[in-house]
Amino acid sequence: MTIETKNSAPSSSEFLDGATVFGIVLALGILAMSIGLVRSKTAGDMRILAATGASNRTRRTLIAVTTGALGFLGAVLGTAAGHIGVLGYVRSNSLNGGIAALGSVPVGSLLLILLGMPLGAAVAGWSLAGRQPPAMAHQPIE
């Protein structure tokens, strides 16, 4: 007689996919806070653009490019830092011959991070920006 039990622990690919999604969501949250800070500092510039006749599309494009660039920079720096950390851990612990123990690089997940995060940031920047500022007779108090 044999007894079989189901292992409810996630597989390594399920864990990797979940970690990738969590990393992207966390990075986009941090990026949203950074964009909020940048937008608050450039609000005067956007008012000047609106006052000089810049279209809604122009203002949206500027914000989308800024968010996309910040998203790409964050993805590249985060990916590089993650790989440096893993390499340091593997070298310090000498796991099964060091670097050879790393196995295959998750190219699909890395491409999702490196391309998906800037694209998601640019789309969010485009959709959340560009509203016509209200008419103001004086400089706002900051």
What is the residue-level pLDDT of the chain in tens, covering all 142 positions? 787 777 777 677 777 778 878 877 887 788 778 777 777 777 777 778 878 888 888 888 888 888 888 889 888 988 888 888 777 777 766 655 555 556 677 788 888 888 988 898 888 888 877 555 555 545 656 6
Amino acid at 36: G
Please check whether residue 113 lies inside any domain of the structure.
yes
Note down the domain range covering 73: 30-128
Tokens matching residue 46: 């956007």
99, containing H or E segment: none
In a domain, 5, yes or no: no
Picking from 58, 79, 68, 57, the residue whose alpha carbon sits closest to that of residue 34 is 68
User: Does 108 fall in a domain?
Assistant: yes
Residue 138, in any domain of the structure: no
Domain presence at residue 87: yes
Mean pLDDT of the chain: 76
Give this prediction's pTM.
0.64
CB-based contacts of 140, cutoff 8 Å, min separation 6:
none
> Is the residue at 15 inside a domain?
no
Q: Which residue, among 122, 131, 126, has the nearest Cα to 67 in the 3D structure?
A: 122
Asked, for residue 36, whether it belongs to a domain, the answer is yes
User: Has residue 11 been placed in a domain?
Assistant: no
The total number of structural domains that make up the chain: 1
